[in-house]
Amino acid sequence: MSTVKNIVLIGFMGTGKTSTGRLLAKMLGYRFVDTDQRLEELYGCSVSEMFANEGESVFRERETALVKDLAAYKRQVISTGGGIVLNQQNMIMLRKTGMIICLTATADRILERVGRRNTRPLLRQENCREIIIDLLEQRRELYNKADFMIDTSERTPRQVSHDIIRTIKMAGVKLKCVR
């Protein structure tokens, strides 16, 4: 039985990567890293400000540099920004560093979740629902490359965390928990 080094959560905005990742890390006694939050700490400004001031491509370069750094550590739950899948290099590094779980949700559920507090620069527009549907379609194949997909539409972060643990164990991979 192999041991999983890190658990990497990928998926579209509003699928619950951050809230689930934080809880899952706590349940396993792993370190929690959210790539957006880490970039905000490193660069001293919000993701929206990075998009507005430096542009999306600079944000993407920073994201890739961070993935490279994180790949050196073990026992982490890494919640990634929804666009991490756009760079194939990111996915190659993440795959080497752990098991990749994609969280999914319906477009309506995503809209409802991101609408509550819209901090996402890509969705700050009138036709938000159409943009979500378009981006989901554009990225579908990239998200499908995950080891496992878990639909979070009707589930709480706690339920999803349990689903993830069960899924990993069923795959015959060992989790090195400290609790």
Q: Residues interacting with ligand S3P, by CB under 6 A?
A: 13, 17-18, 36, 47, 81-83, 120-122
Q: In angstroms, what CA-CA distances link 27 with 3, 12, 178?
A: 17, 23, 9
Under 8 Å CB-to-CB from 110, ≥6 apart: which residues? 12, 13, 14, 15, 132, 136
Q: Give the residue with the Cβ less far from ligand S3P, 75 or 120.
A: 120
Least Cβ distance, residue 30 to ligand S3P (angstroms): 19
Q: Give the residue with the Cβ less far from ligand S3P, 17 or 75.
A: 17
- Measure the CA–CA gap between 116 and 62, rounded to whole angstroms: 27
Least Cβ distance, residue 4 to ligand S3P (angstroms): 22
Least Cβ distance, residue 109 to ligand S3P (angstroms): 14
- Measure the CA–CA gap between 172 and 128, rounded to whole angstroms: 40
Helix H or strand E segment including 140: helix 128-143
Q: Give the residue with the Cβ less far from ligand S3P, 47 or 102.
A: 47
Least Cβ distance, residue 3 to ligand S3P (angstroms): 27
Nearest CA to 5 out of 90, 146, 145, 99 is that of: 99
Q: Give the residue with the Cβ less far from ligand S3P, 36 or 163.
A: 36
Q: Give the residue with the Cβ less far from ligand S3P, 64 or 121.
A: 121
Least Cβ distance, residue 1 to ligand S3P (angstroms): 32
